[in-house]
Amino acid sequence: MKIIMLGAPGAGKGTQAKKIAEKYGIPHISTGDIFRANIKGGTELGMKAKAYMDQGQLVPDDVTIGMLLDRISEADCEKGYVLDGFPRTIPQAESLTNALNERGEKMDYAVNVDVPDEAIVTRMSGRRACLACGATYHIVFNAPKTEGVCDTCGEKLVLRDDDKPETVQKRLTVYHDQTQPLIDYYQQAGILVTVDGTKDLNEVFKDITVVLGE
């Protein structure tokens, strides 16, 4: 099963993608996590991406598309995957569609997690991330067992630089300009599913599994 998660930054794409990956036994591929791992590792790709990420801008398509297409060619992607944070532009979506067409494949679902902008800033200011393993928490809605410590790997949790309110506003503007048009793109492709992302995260997951199947 091949799934795309759509939605504003902070809508809950990563939270749901992790649950989908676990339930259906497919890899969770987050382009944001790949960039952050590269920043942490001090790679050239990481340094290039950081300049854009810190400004709330998108990393250019010429860097992002190749990276994602390489990742989905790896052996663990044979049975499918859940994409979180890609595509974010129409050219990214078209490149993905074309690359899959060439292999006689197609995406199965684009799951749009719908949350209004007003709720996003609260979500983002309370998000805490583990930069070691990619786990995410919320200080109120999804708190770790021990404050400030990752349940999965024990590393210290951080507020991402790009989750500060001024950057979140910028990211929302970029989302509406460049990423929201993908909702129409996947609607026209006949694979769009929209879920109400303002519900409790377990309710949102239930709604998604009704569509994807048990």
Q: Where are the beta strands (DSSP E) in the chain?
A: 2-6, 28-30, 81-84, 109-114, 127-129, 136-138, 192-196
Indicate if 88 belongs to the active site: yes
35 neighbors 53 (Cβ within 8 angstroms): yes
| Active-site residue, from 18, 19, 123, 127 | 127
Indicate if 171 belongs to the active site: yes
Instruction: Answer yes or no whether residue 59 interacts with ligand AMP by CB under 6 A.
Output: yes
**Dihedral sign (CA 62, 66, 67, 72):** positive
Which one-letter DSSP state was computed for residue 42? Answer: T
* Least Å from the CB of residue 202 to ligand ADP: 8
Residues 11-30 that bind ligand ADP (CB under 6 A): 11-15
d(CA 51, CA 102): 33
13 neighbors 6 (Cβ within 8 angstroms): yes
Structure tokens belonging to residue 200: 């409790």
Indicate if 36 belongs to the active site: no
| Active-site residue, from 50, 71, 160, 170 | 160
Please identify which residue in 17, 18, 20, 32 interacts with ligand AMP, judged by CB under 6 A: 32
Instruction: Answer yes or no whether residue 186 interacts with ligand AMP by CB under 6 A.
Output: no
Instruction: Answer yes or no whether residue 2 interacts with ligand AMP by CB under 6 A.
Output: no
Give the Å distances, CA to CA, from 53 to 20, 40, 57, 163, 199. 26, 13, 6, 10, 28
Spatial CB neighbours of 111, under 8 Å, sequence gap ≥ 6: 3, 4, 5, 6, 16, 193, 194, 195, 208, 211
Residue 44 half-sphere exposure toward CB, CA atoms < 13 A: 1
* Least Å from the CB of residue 110 to ligand AMP: 14
Please identify which residue in 26, 171, 182, 197 interacts with ligand AMP, judged by CB under 6 A: 171
Instruction: Answer yes or no whether residue 127 interacts with ligand ADP by CB under 6 A.
Output: yes
Residues 73-112 as x/- pattern, contact with ligand AMP by CB under 6 A: ------------xx-x---x--------------------
| Active-site residue, from 2, 18, 36, 171 | 171
Structure tokens belonging to residue 166: 């001024």
Active site amino acids: 13, 88, 127, 160, 171
Which residues contact ligand ADP by CB under 6 A? 7, 9-15, 123, 126-127, 136-138, 141-142, 197, 199-201, 204
Which residues contact ligand AMP by CB under 6 A? 9, 30-32, 35, 52-53, 57-59, 64, 85-86, 88, 92, 162, 171
